[in-house]
Amino acid sequence: MQYRNFGKTGKRVSIIGFGGMRFTSDDDEAVRTMLRARELGVNYFDTAPHYCKDRSEPLFGRALPLMDGPVYVSTKSSIDDDKDAAAVRRRIENALTRMNVEKITFFNMWCIMNWAQFEAVMAKGGPYDGAVKAREEGLIEHITFSTHANGEEIARMCQTGAYEGVTLGYNILNRKNRRSGIAAAARANMGVVAMNPLGGGMIPSGAHRFEFLKRQEEDSVVIAALKFVASHPEITVTLSGMGKVEHVEENVRAGDLTGGPSQTVVDEIAARYEALGQAFCTGCRYCEPCSVGINIPDILACFNRQELGLDREARAFYGWYKREAGARWQGPAACTRCGDCLPRCTQQLPIPDLLEKCHQFFEVENPA
């Protein structure tokens, strides 16, 4: 396992981090999995309220006291649940008790979707103020944030100087959309934690389409995808959800990067991807709002899976989105081909044409 400096915090963290949202229903197995990760050199452990039906933090509370240090734990608070400073304080106190720790190393303002939500978090008396007070009292060490915003908005957030680290989704599929964000974080000397390195499961599920990620023949596509992310000089931790010991033993192999991070490796693999001429929707949501209310990113996320040959999974996701929307649902057939979305798409996707394909596949050939 290799280790990197987490920004200016003084912490040396493992380049492979443990994500605590993939546990099975077996609590003892979860504890064994975390302890095995620590044995193999992982020292960055990430969790959150609600993970695994709200079992994750308490499971951390069983495993963390059994680990030799240094071990760094990350958890979170969402403005959707904790709307002001007092609520964040209660969240922190609850997390300390549940995880059986005296302090939280990295406390995240969680799941910031856009700049407007960032401003709400930062408002006087809001969640960020609660975290600052807790830090002053020694309950947490470092304030960080996690986000699903686009790269430009992430860059703005990093430039405020309010945070010491950021957690963001990053993989070969959304690289273009997020690279300005990780570059800005690195310039600000922040720790960068890359979650979702396997594209929400799309990469291992469609492994035959992602062989180009491999630089060593003996690597699986999973290891190659993790290595691609970990090879970025700007990225501190590549975070992967692990639910079983065998997941840990596979994933930590990606932590042995011969020669360390390399922009040359990153550029080589990115060039291979570009040469394929296959562009996927990255979920950046620049295409929104649609003039007729179509939820373009969610529909194209289903199309991504269909393109990878994951037809059953694609139909399941499509049906779920349709049921969740209910009467608000506007399917792909509602597209008027106005073209407003086209210049906003970071991937230059032919969105109206893809929506027509989605209509044919999901509604005509396989009606939900």
Domain spans of the chain? 3-273, 296-365
| Bridge partners for 143 per DSSP | 107
Q: What angle do CA 122, 126, 130 make, to 5 degrees?
A: 105
Per-residue pLDDT 10s for the chain (368 aa) are 899 999 999 999 999 999 999 999 999 999 999 999 999 999 999 999 999 999 999 999 999 999 998 999 999 999 999 999 999 999 999 999 999 999 999 999 998 988 999 999 999 999 999 999 999 999 999 999 999 888 889 999 999 999 999 999 999 988 888 889 999 999 999 999 999 999 878 888 888 889 999 988 888 999 999 999 999 999 999 999 999 999 999 999 898 776 778 899 999 999 998 888 777 887 777 788 999 999 999 999 899 888 888 888 899 999 999 998 888 899 999 999 999 999 888 777 899 999 999 999 999 987 75
Burial class (CB in 10 A: 0-12, 13-18, 19+), 242: buried
Rounded to whole angstroms, how far apart are CA atoms 154 and 170? Answer: 12
Tokens of 104: 């939280």
At 252, give phi and psi (nearest 5°). Answer: -70, -15
What pLDDT shows up at residue 274? Answer: 86
> For the domain bounded by 3-273, which CATH number is listed?
3.20.20.100
Give the number of C-alpha atoms closer than 13 A to the C-alpha of residue 244, restricted to the C-beta side. Answer: 5
Rounded to whole angstroms, how far apart are CA atoms 338 and 357? Answer: 17
Tokens of 107: 């406390």
Give the number of C-alpha atoms closer than 13 A to the C-alpha of residue 173, restricted to the C-beta side. Answer: 24
Strands 3-5 and 12-14: antiparallel
Q: What angle do CA 140, 22, 181 make, to 5 degrees?
A: 60
Rounded to whole angstroms, how far apart are CA atoms 134 and 143? Answer: 10
Tokens of 69: 């240090």
Residue corresponding to tokens 């003996």: 218
At 255, give phi and psi (nearest 5°). Answer: -80, -5
What pLDDT shows up at residue 368? Answer: 59
